[in-house]
Amino acid sequence: MGMVFNTPQQISSPQSTELEDYPPMKNSSRIKLRDGRYLAYAERGVPRHESKYQIVIVHGFGSSKEMNFPVSQELIEELGIYFLLFDRAGYGDSDLNMKRSVKSEALDIEELVDKLELGSKFYVIGVSMGSYPTWSCLKYIPHRLAGVALVVPIVNYWWPSLPKSLTKLDFRKKLIRWTLRIASHAPGLLRWWVNKKCLPSNSVLERDPTFFNEHDMEVLKHSKGFPMLTRERLRQQEVFDTLRTDFMVCFGKWDFDPMEMGDPFPESPESSVHIWQGHEDKVVPVELQQCISEKLPWIQYHEIPEGGHLIVHYDGVCDSIVKALLLGEEPLTDTQDSS
């Protein structure tokens, strides 16, 4: 199944070195795509043309290129890492794509990378719902990838190969199915319900123990939260349309089944694919990730025993993700640590 690691002992605080604290070289820059849309991006880490490693970070639902991905400045400089963060279609300063699809997400990433002349290969790290564009990259542009990490990746309950026995009693599946139906057939009703009933304030979602464990709750005390999920932002039609289409594509019908994919790097042993999962994740059940990793032995699976859905904010986790992806290094296991 893969490696299971010790739980980090502390949660990142505002005083910790975080990727957003590393001076940006450009902020809110945009490139024009072939279809006329503009895609906004931000660059972090060492200068692009001086870097040894180039990593694209894909944000999740309700987030943006301003997301935190707490990598130590020491590691960034030691390895020569350049990070490219961007607003996915409709988020932040990027234009909405009403024709968004699983495939279009990968093609947006490829075109952005080419416009910035990052080279023939690059790394991708997808966080939470940013995992479906990352799966898309593995499917449609594997020849452009040097390696991939999926962090607490969202699982589509309707992948054909996902055992129904694992999901038939899962309340999340029922909630998603209901939301998909309303979003498809009565988006106006969904928008009314979200604004009036679901999210009277940002703090309601943040403090909901249905979705976050105690370590996540500690993270949220020091977090900027989910700025796109406030009632004020959801009243904006473009914001609502972005979230609605993103959700529908992520949990709708895909034209491929990730659990039937072969090794995307059969002739490149230096390239690897990783899944990082919290054992106590209340958004994505750990059993689903374990099932996927068992079905796909070419994926290296990493599990944090007391981790929730916000493990990227736990001290040391992002450094471990980057080291495993770039160098093949593994943190100490419970067994190794006790010896």
Residue 41 has pLDDT above 70, yes or no: yes
Domains and CATH numbers, the chain: 3-338 (3.40.50.1820)
φ, ψ dihedrals at 255, nearest 5°: -95, 15
Dump pLDDT digits (tens) for 100-153. Answer: 999 999 999 999 999 999 999 999 999 999 999 999 999 999 999 999 999 999
How does residue 3 score in pLDDT terms, banded at 50, 70 and 90? very low
Q: pLDDT tens digits for 306-326?
A: 999 999 999 999 999 999 999
Range with the poorest average pLDDT among 8-12, 56-60, 158-162, 248-252: 8-12
For residue 22, pLDDT beyond 60? no
Question: Would you state the pLDDT for residue 186?
Answer: 85
Residues 276/299, Cβ–Cβ less than 8 Å: no
pLDDT tens digit string along 261-275? 999 999 888 899 999
Q: If we measure between CA atoms, which residue out of 7, 10, 4, 9 comes closest to residue 335?
A: 4
Report which DSSP code applies to 157: T
pLDDT digits over 272-312, tens only?
Answer: 999 999 999 999 999 999 999 999 999 999 999 999 999 99
Q: Is the pLDDT of residue 335 over 70?
A: no
pLDDT at 14 over 90: no
Asked whether the predicted pLDDT for residue 248 surpasses 80, the reply is yes
Instruction: List residues bridging with 85 in a β-sheet.
Output: 42, 57
Tell me the per-residue pLDDT of 199-222, one tens digit each, with 9 for 90 and over: 444 443 555 677 888 888 888 877
Res 9 pLDDT > 60: no
Backbone angles phi, psi at 266, to 5 degrees: -65, -25
Measure the CA angle with vertex 180, ends 175 and 181; round to 5°. 105
Write the pLDDT tens digit of every residue in 71-101: 999 999 999 999 999 999 999 999 999 899 9
Q: Identify the pLDDT of residue 238.
A: 87
DSSP letters for 56-102: EEE--TT--TT------HHHHHHHTEEEEEEPPTTSTTSPP-TT--H
What is the structure's pLDDT at 185? Answer: 84
Q: How far apart are CA 327 and CA 322, in angstroms?
A: 8
By the 10 Å C-beta count (0-12 exposed, 13-18 middle, 19+ buried), 214 is classed as exposed
